[in-house]
Structure 1
Amino acid sequence: MMIDITQHAVRLRDGRDASVFRIAAPGGIALWVAELGATLLRIEAPDRNGHCANVILGDVDIGRYPAALGLPEDPRFGASCGRVANRTAGAAFVLDGTRFALDENESPNHLHGGRDGFSRRLWRGRSVPDGVEMTLSSADGDQGYPGDLSVLARFALVAADTLAVTYRATSDRPTHVNIVSHPYFNLSGDPAATIDRHQLAIAADSFLPIDAMALPDAAAQPVAGTPFDFRAPREVGSVIDADHPQIHAADGFNHCFVLSTDGPRQQPCFAARIHCPASGRVMTLSTDQPALQFYSGNALCADGEATGSQLAFARRTGLCLEAQAFPNAANRPDFPTTRLDPGQEYRSELRLHFAVEA
C-alpha cells in the first residue's frame, strides 16, 4: 500500500516552529498530526456517498489551539495526554515509600499530566514508511513525576481505512505512565451537530462509578439495567440525560468502562463501535488497554470568546473514547498498575477502523 506523507512547518506564537504532517492512503482515510502535543488535528473519512469530511473536532491550523496560544482552558482536542492521563487524586502518589506531589491543575487533583503535560509539549516528528513517529523527553521531576522518561508516539496507516496510534516509553527510575490519545469523534462530518444520534457500543460488562470530582469512588459496578449498558448498540441521546445518580454526577458520561476480556490484552482487541446513521460512517476501536473512558463532551462551549480560544465547539458535539489504564491507579492498589520500572517498556496501542453502512 502506498502512503502519501507531506510535511509543513507552522510558526507558533512563542516563535517556535511545529511541523504538521498529512498522512493519506489512496482511496482511504487521510489524517493530519502536529508536533505540538502529538495532536491529531483532522481525520477525513468517506460517508456512504463517498464524500470525505473531518470526523474529529479540530482544525489543520495548530496555531489556533489553546496549547499554541498559551491558554489554560484546554479540552485537549486530539492531543496525546500524559505522563499520566485522567485524574490522580490529591495530585500525589506514594511510590516505594516516597510521596511525589504532582501539578495540581484541577484542584485538588492532577489531570492529564498537569498544566505543562505532554499535550502542550513540542514533540519531534519524522516520516516513516507508513506514517509518522514523534519523540519526547520528560525529565525527572517533570510535573512532579520521578524518572527521566523517553516517549515515542507513532501514527501509522496499517490499512487504507485503519489508523494505529502506538505509544512506547522507558524510564530510568520507577514511575507511573498512562498515555492517552484524546480525539473528540463526530462521525456526521458536521462539527455543529451533536453526538446524540450516534449509535455506540462498548465491550464492557462493568464501569467505575465516580464522585463529584470525577474520580472512581467504588468498585466496578455492572452495566446491566443501567444507562451504562452499551453491550448492544444504543443511541447516545437516549441515555445521556437519564435519571440516574451517576449521569447526574457527570452531567452525562465521563466514566471509565472496564473492558471485557478473557485474559490480559496482549494485542488490540475490539473495545467499541460508533455508527452515525445520518452519514453512514462507522468507526471500530480496538485497544490493548484494560479500560475505555467515555466522555460525552458535556463541558464543551461554543463561545470561544469566554476563554480566548480560537477553537471552540458546542456542548456534546464530540465524544471521546480514551483507551487507557484505570483512573487514579497510582493510588488504588486494587486497580491494574500503571507502574513502570527501569528495564521495562510501556506500550499502548489504539486502532481506529473506518467503514460505511448503507
Structure 2
Amino acid sequence: MQALFLRMNVALCAAAMVMASTTMAQPVPAPTLARAPFGATPDGQPVEQFTLANAHGMRVRVLSYGGIISAIEAPDRTGHVDDVVLGFPTLAGYTVDNAKGGLFFGATVGRVANRIAHGTFVLGGQRYHIPPTEGTTALHGGRRGFDKQVWTVEGTGLTADTASVTLKLVSPDGQEGFPGTLTTHVTFALNTRNELSLHYRATTDRPTVVNLTNHSYFNLSGEGSGTVENHVLQLNADAYTPTDANSLPLGTIAPVADTPLDFRMPHRIGTRLHNSMTQMLYAHGYDQNWVINHAHATAPVPAARLRDPASGRVLEVLTTQPGVQVYTGNSLDGAYAGPSGRTYRQGDGIALETQHYPDSPNHPDFPSIELRPGQIYDETTIYRFGVEPVSASAP
C-alpha cells in the first residue's frame, strides 16, 4: 500500500520539479505571518487570527478561538486560488452557529475526539462521567470541548522555510468530567513545499485520557462549490472499526475488502456513497474510522489522498496517528452559509480526522489513549497540497 501511494505521487513530484526549475535562478521567498484581531467572544474574550502564507499562493488562517483553521487557500492547476475548507466569515459563526450545529468546522477537537459510549469510562479503577452531547454519547470532548475555548498564543515563528503559530490550552482537572490538568500545545506550520503540519503535544499532572484531532471539512473545488462526490479518495487502510446504530465501535476490527469502505485503490467518493451496507445506513454516508496501515511510526505515514479532477488539486494526509475518521458532512442541511454566501448541504465537504479509534477508553484492545504524569502526548499530521495535470484526471 505504501508503494502504491508513492507511485501515485509521481505527478506531484514532477510538478514540484517543474516549480523548482523555474526558481533556480533565485531563492524561494520565505513564508510570511500576519496577526490581526478577529472580534471577541460573547463573554468579551478577544480573539486573534493568524495568516500563514508562502510564495506559491497558499494561505492558512488560524484562530485563537477553538484552535480553528478558518481557511486554507490553495492554487489549482491553472494557479487560481480558492479556499478549500468550509467555514464562516465572522467569529459569530464559530461561537454561535458552529457550536449550536455541532459542526466543528476547522476546530481542534479534545480532550477526547470522537465518541465515548454513554459518556463514561473507567481509569485506574475509578469511573468518570462526561456530559453526553449526542443522545447518550459524549462526542468531541463534552459540552465545552477544546473547540469552544479561547487558546493562549504561546508564540509565532518565521524561518526561511516555515511560518508557524503555537497555541496553548490548559484544561483544569475535572473540566467536562475528565481527570487531571491537561496542558496542550498545537503548532500550525506552513512551509515552502505547500505542507501544513499540525504538531500536538500534551502533558498531565494525573492519569487521564487524550485524543486530539482537527475537524476541517475539505472541498478541493473550493468552499461553497457544492458536493465532493466527484472527488477521488484513496485510504492507506486495509481495515476499519465497525459500529452499532449509534456510531459506537463494536470493539472489533474488520477488513474493508468487498465493502463500500474499500478505498485501497482510488475511487470516486460518490460511486458508493449511497450504498445500502448497514454501516452506511447507520451513518447516512461515510462516518467511519479506518485503521491506518503501519500506523504509529516515529514519522508520519500516508493515511489518505484526496483528489479533485476538475481543479487538479490534490491533498495528501500523513500522520503518526493510528486511525482516520472519514466524514462526508452527513448532517449538513443547508442551515448555515460560508464565506461564499452559499449554504452547506450534505456531502459539501469531507473531514479526514486523524486520531485514535472512537471510544478507546472502553475497548482495551484498541490503541490506548491514556496519558500519565511524565509522559508526553506527541502526534503530528501533515496536509500536503499539490496539483495534477489534466492527463492525471482519471481515477
**TM tier, shorter chain?**
over 0.9
Shift of 1:246: 1.0
Match for residue 315 of structure 1 among 321, 328, 346: 346
Query: CA 1:190 to 1:83, structure 2 compared with 1: closer, same or farther past 3 Å?
Result: closer
Match for residue 270 of structure 1 among 302, 325, 328: 302
Deviates more, 1:115-124 or 1:264-273: 264-273
Query: For this pair of structures, how many residues does the alignment match?
Result: 352
Aligned to 1:285: 317
Aligned to 2:111: 83
Structure 1: any 5+ residue segments left out of the alignment?
Answer: none
Asked if structure 1 preserves the Cα contact closer than 8 Å seen for 2:30 and 2:192, the reply is no
Query: CA 1:73 to 1:311, structure 2 compared with 1: closer, same or farther past 3 Å?
Result: farther
Aligned to 1:299: 331
Aligned to 1:58: 87
DSSP-derived class of the 2:384 partner: strand
Aligned to 2:47: 18
Q: Deviations over 1:58-93 (max 9, x none)?
A: 13532322x256843220000000000000011011
| Structure with the bigger percentage of helix | 2
Matched, 1:335 2:333: no
Matched, 1:147 2:176: no
Query: CA 1:238 to 1:62, structure 2 compared with 1: closer, same or farther past 3 Å?
Result: same
DSSP-derived class of the 1:167 partner: strand
Q: Deviations over 1:17-69 (max 9, x none)?
A: 1000100011241100000100000000000110000010013532322x256
What is the letter of the counterpart of residue 346 of structure 1?
A: Y
Shift of 1:264: 3.5
Q: Deviations over 1:76-131 (max 9, x none)?
A: 00000000000001101101110011111122111000110000000012322221
Matched residues in 2 for 1:231 and 1:172: separation? 41
What is the letter of the counterpart of residue 229 of structure 1?
A: D
Match for residue 2 of structure 1 among 30, 36, 39: 30
Matched residues in 1 for 2:167 and 2:114: separation? 22
Query: CA 1:341 to 1:233, structure 2 compared with 1: closer, same or farther past 3 Å?
Result: same
Matched residues in 2 for 1:157 and 1:68: separation? 29
Asked if structure 2 preserves the Cα contact closer than 8 Å seen for 1:28 and 1:160, the reply is no
Matched, 1:114 2:162: no
Asked if structure 2 preserves the Cα contact closer than 8 Å seen for 1:42 and 1:60, the reply is no
| 1:121-160 alignment, distance < 5 Å | 121-125=149-153, 126-129=155-158, 130-160=163-193
DSSP-derived class of the 2:131 partner: coil
Q: Deviations over 1:172-192 (max 9, x none)?
A: 000000011100000001423
Match for residue 40 of structure 1 among 52, 58, 69: 69
Matched residues in 1 for 2:112 and 2:51: separation? 27
| 1:196-275 alignment, distance < 5 Å | 196-261=229-294, 264-275=296-307
What is the letter of the counterpart of residue 146 of structure 1?
A: P
Asked if structure 2 preserves the Cα contact closer than 8 Å seen for 1:178 and 1:324, the reply is yes
Shift of 1:311: 9.3
Deviates more, 1:52-61 or 1:230-239: 52-61
Matched residues in 1 for 2:180 and 2:321: separation? 23
Q: Deviations over 1:281-326 (max 9, x none)?
A: 0000000000000111111121239xxxx99511110000100001
Aligned to 2:19: none
Q: Deviations over 1:181-229 (max 9, x none)?
A: 1000000014231010000000000011111111111411111111011
Asked if structure 2 preserves the Cα contact closer than 8 Å seen for 1:2 and 1:26, the reply is yes
Matched residues in 1 for 2:320 and 2:32: separation? 27
Query: CA 1:40 to 1:101, structure 2 compared with 1: closer, same or farther past 3 Å?
Result: same
Aligned to 1:170: 203
TM-score by length of 1: 0.95
DSSP-derived class of the 2:85 partner: coil
Query: CA 1:73 to 1:29, structure 2 compared with 1: closer, same or farther past 3 Å?
Result: same
Shift of 1:11: 2.4
TM-score by length of 2: 0.86
Matched residues in 1 for 2:342 and 2:146: separation? 19
Q: Sequence identity, in percent?
A: 38
Match for residue 325 of structure 1 among 321, 343, 356: 356
Asked if structure 1 preserves the Cα contact closer than 8 Å seen for 2:31 and 2:192, the reply is no
DSSP-derived class of the 1:349 partner: strand
DSSP-derived class of the 2:118 partner: helix
What is the letter of the counterpart of residue 245 of structure 2?
A: A
Asked if structure 2 preserves the Cα contact closer than 8 Å seen for 1:209 and 1:219, the reply is yes
Aligned to 2:212: 179
Matched residues in 2 for 1:180 and 1:70: separation? 17
DSSP-derived class of the 1:302 partner: strand
Structure 2: any 5+ residue segments left out of the alignment?
Answer: 1-28, 390-395
Matched, 1:102 2:118: no
Matched residues in 1 for 2:39 and 2:305: separation? 37
Asked if structure 2 preserves the Cα contact closer than 8 Å seen for 1:136 and 1:150, the reply is yes
Shift of 1:157: 1.3
DSSP-derived class of the 1:304 partner: strand
Aligned to 2:226: 193
